[in-house]
Structure 1
Amino acid sequence: MKFLLTFFGVLLCFSCKQEGGNEVKEKQVLVEKYSFSELEPLLVATKHKPKVVNFWATWCAPCVEELPYFLKLEEKGLADVVLVSLDIPSMLTSHVVPFIEKNKIKSQVILLDDPYSNLWIPKINKNWSGAIPASLIIAKDTSVFVSKPFAGYKPLAELVKKI
């Protein structure tokens, strides 16, 4: 019995990260895998402000370049932002989560795990080729689809304010 108490005491000491005597819990990044049918309910406007749904991937340079514009948009309270990663699902823990941690992304991030892109791409926009970056901006009864990268924060913010 004494051995077990000692063992669990040592285990407890080494399993807690301490800083200044207080236990510090690591913040875990939560990225959920969604099928398109699970994502679809998120493709509607919220009552109070526009919603921007950005389709991107960690390997897409123009996508990564424009991400700060979306983060700033949400930070300023101009829109709710949903970042839909089109990375390969097996890359979730090796690429997507570390990317989100490194860039301190606080917006909702979803990994779209739906191989039937020929079915869901036209539901986003019938003229979309599937190329990324692409964004859907939704407000009340209006939606605007943009299938190219934004050239800066200002054009994105102006478009969101306009609709």
Structure 2
Amino acid sequence: MMKKFLLILLVLCSLHISAQEVEVIRFADLQKKILYTEAPLTVFNFWATWCGPCIKELPHFDAIETESDQVKVYLVSIDFQSELDRVKKFVVKKSLKSDVLFLNEKDPDSYMGKVSQEWSGAIPATLFVTDLGKTYFHEKAFTKEELEKTIKKYLN
């Protein structure tokens, strides 16, 4: 009985340790993260669990932060407000390491133009912000090679 209890406890602890937290955030708080970058280059990748191209490129963004100490990555979910549990399960299933933010806003039109005037509303979309406050916006899916090249360009 005690062995069974310890085994269950060990499994639960390992799940908790490996599970990435999803921070629920309002746009005003996201704006602060955009304005006050933490690294020479901060990347905000906007995605959703229902977006095939987003899912395909997520591992590339997730790998960047672990490979470079000059880049901070935020994976910003714009899934519908009712899908927070789905996003949490997805993050655990995919073992995402980057900070995942769940943008808790009802109306995408209220913030998209504030992220970039270039944003038509399509995803995936990515905002790159240098530590000097220069921003670059891309409304496209990245291959691993394209993302690495883009990051090198913006770091220089």
- The 5 A counterparts of 1:69-80 are 69-77=60-68, 78-80=70-72
Q: Which runs of 5+ in 2 are unaligned?
A: none
Give, in whole Å, the separation in 2 of the partners of 1:34 and 1:20. 33
CA drift at 1:98 = 1.1
Structure 1 residues not aligned, in runs of 5+: 1-9
Q: Secondary structure at the match of 1:145?
A: strand
Distance 1:34 1:21 in 2: 31
User: How far off its partner does 1:82 sit?
Assistant: 0.3
Q: Which residue pairs with 1:109 in the alignment?
A: 100
Structure 1 segment 1-163 matched on structure 2, within 5 A: 18-19=6-7, 25=13, 26-27=15-16, 28-44=19-35, 46=37, 48-77=39-68, 78-93=70-85, 95-139=86-130, 140-150=132-142, 152-163=143-154
After TM superposition, give the deviation of residue 88 of structure 1 in Å: 1.2
The 1:35/1:59 distance shift into structure 2, 3 A limit, reads: same
Residues 72 and 45 of structure 1, relative CA distance in 2, 3 Å threshold? farther
| Structure with greater helix percent | 2
In structure 2, do the counterparts of structure 1 residues 63 and 21 end up closer, same or farther at CA, with 3 Å as the change threshold?
A: closer
The amino acid of 1:155's aligned partner reads E
Provide TM-score, normalisation by structure 1. 0.81
Deviations 1:44-68 (A, max 9, x none): 3635420110000011000000001
Percent of paired sites with the same residue = 33
Shift of 1:120: 1.1
Q: TM-score, normalised by structure 2?
A: 0.84
Q: Alignment length, in residue pairs?
A: 149
Q: Determine helix, strand or coil for the equivalent of 2:97.
A: coil
From the CA coordinates, give the structure whose radius of gyration is larger: 1
Judge which range, 37-46 or 132-141, deviates more. Answer: 37-46
Over 3 Å counting, the alpha-carbon distance change for 1:18 and 1:52 in structure 2 is same
Q: CA RMSD in A?
A: 2.5
Contact map agreement 2:22 2:88 (CA 8 A) in 1 = yes
Check 1:22–1:56 CA distance in 2 against 1; reply closer, same or farther (3 A cut): closer
Residue 90 of structure 1 and its aligned partner are, at CA, apart by 1.6
